[in-house]
Structure 1
Amino acid sequence: MQEAIPQFWIFLGCLSYRVLLLQIRVKPDKTGVVTDGVKHSMNPFCEIAVEEAVRLKEKKLVSEVVAVCCGPQQCQETIRTALAMGADRGLHVEIPAKDYESLGPFQVSKILAALAKKEGVNLLLLGKQAIDDDCNQTGQMTAAFLDWPQGTFASEVSVDGDWLKIEREVDGGLETVRLKLPAVVTADLRLNEPRYATLPNIMKAKKKKIEVVKPSDLGVDLTSRIKTLSVEDPPQRKAGVKVETVDDLVVKLKESGKI
């Protein structure tokens, strides 16, 4: 039997996204959009990462699955979802809402790198990108901070002792890479189909441990490298004009100064 990987980490934090059920409104001070009363949900790419970790544990290829999330108190709901899917325990890096708004991949990667060193893990699995801002940077930056090899956009993951074989989609087709553990892997959509958490597992998840730590405990500075100057509503679109013929179209374009 292959030796089990000591710990398998899933990062959920900034990759959890907010489902904006109401019309998007810009804050009066132009610093962002209003998120009060908005439900937070797990990013689909992170769901796939959780599923892959649980499957590897079911195959006895990993010994423990730890779900990590960065953000305010409500992030624990996302961790509970991961626990209900099969993760063993959760780690919540608590960040106040005012600081969370400016939290970016650079700060998150520093947190993950510090946690990986502290916990002694040797495999870190993340969703490939967030779907609120489409950042595709956290996995790559974390690998750089740790000086670990990385397998991004993974559509297939297999373990062979101290090595991982990653199949990933590229413009020209499929690429296969082999990574020496420890390593960082980011999950693509075609990696698997996440399971639904059953009611018994949801109840069990309520009893699983979630440890809360602060960035200061890890020696991580959350000072943002990016400053938002202003967030504006998009301009109102003007009504279109229908024309009957190409000649009419040319006339209209000339009248509007387009040609």
Structure 2
Amino acid sequence: MKILVCIKQVPGTNKVEVDEKTGVLKRNGADSKMNPYDLYALETGVRLKEEYGGTVSVITMGPPQAKAVLYEAFSMGADEGALITDRKFGGADVLATSRTLSQGIKRFGDFDIILCGLQTTDGDTAQVGPEVAEQLKIPSVCNVQRIEKVEKDNIIVDMDMPQDIERIKIYFPCLLTVQKDIYQPRLPSYLKQKETSKKDIDVFTFSDMEDQDENKYGLNGSPTHVQRIFPPVSDKVQQHWQGTTEELAVKIYETLKEKKFIA
């Protein structure tokens, strides 16, 4: 079984600068880490490999420094990795990102199962996984919380729906987005880290894409644009009161009434 896990490097802090002209995060030089939701997808892939055999590959889209998350994935059990990187891919929205990822996946190889985290912490759209499946013209299931069984040509999973849990059989090739309740991600292995520290990584740029229409990538291929990004304004104010229990009770009551929390 050939398994592919899509992972992403995201800012490791909320103190990230934004390009005022494009509304795009300035990722160069910012502290970064693997998207936490992708850790669950990676763990799912490694466990499937351990139980049913096969290989686990990882792919990411981002600037050259995004290679770091691929090496981190190697230390957690991934076998091969690929980076999709080109300035022409910068500023992509979910549609342009899914197009680029699907093109890179086609270039990387054929896979039975593609796994994605439910969403990313820097976007929270939960749209890229299903859109990649649409671009690749393969079936997908989202919100997977449990792998029930893997058979020769299909996998049976439990999907978390708003009102109930739905069990689905989906045939290969397919794409799954997994929830954080599915497995507990393992810690990176120091020995694997040493073994794979110089492992070769495939790098795909725009020239490697089958579709050479530049208007489908990056900002040019993004029908949605961010109008404004700004840090939330904090309105928290601390007050320290002193007095007897009765005095403090009256003070709290008057404050709540003044703010119209009580009549």
**TM-score normalised per structure 2:** 0.81
**Identity percentage over the alignment?**
23
Quote the residue 1:231 is aligned against. 229
Structure 1 CA distance, aligned partners of 2:86 and 2:152? 37
Structure 2 CA distance, aligned partners of 1:200 and 1:59? 22
Is residue 2:5 matched to residue 1:10?
Answer: yes
Structure 2 CA distance, aligned partners of 1:32 and 1:107? 14
Match of 1:85, SS state, is coil
Q: Give the Å deviation of 1:29.
A: 5.7
Tell me the amino acid that sits aligned with residue 57 of structure 1. Answer: K
Q: 5 Å matches for 1:51-200? A: 51-61=43-53, 63-96=54-87, 99-100=89-90, 102-118=91-107, 119-157=109-147, 158-200=149-191
Match of 2:227, SS state, is coil
Tell me the amino acid that sits aligned with residue 189 of structure 1. Answer: K
Quote the residue 1:47 is aligned against. 39
C-alpha RMSD of the superposition: 2.8
Kindly indicate whether the alpha-carbon contact (under 8 Å) linking 1:71 and 1:93 is maintained by their aligned counterparts in 2: yes
Q: Give the Å deviation of 1:171.
A: 2.0
Cα displacement string for residues 172-231 of structure 1 (whole angstroms, at most 9, x for unaligned residues): 232111101110001111111111121110011223220101134212631222223333
Query: How many residues in Structure 1 have an aligned counterpart in Structure 2?
Result: 243
Unaligned runs of 5+ in 1: none
Q: Give the Å deviation of 1:87.
A: 1.0
Cα displacement string for residues 215-256 of structure 1 (whole angstroms, at most 9, x for unaligned residues): 342126312222233333434527478973656654x358xx
Unaligned runs of 5+ in 2: 242-249
Match of 1:244, SS state, is helix
Kindly indicate whether the alpha-carbon contact (under 8 Å) linking 1:17 and 1:41 is maintained by their aligned counterparts in 2: yes
Structure 2 CA distance, aligned partners of 1:253 and 1:66? 56
Kindly indicate whether the alpha-carbon contact (under 8 Å) linking 1:30 and 1:231 is maintained by their aligned counterparts in 2: no
**TM-score normalised per structure 1:** 0.82
Tell me the amino acid that sits aligned with residue 205 of structure 2. Answer: K
Kindly indicate whether the alpha-carbon contact (under 8 Å) linking 1:83 and 1:205 is maintained by their aligned counterparts in 2: yes
Structure 2 CA distance, aligned partners of 1:247 and 1:107? 54
Call closer, same or farther: CA 1:210–1:174 in 2, change over 3 Å.
same
Call closer, same or farther: CA 1:249–1:192 in 2, change over 3 Å.
closer
Q: Give the Å deviation of 1:114.
A: 2.3
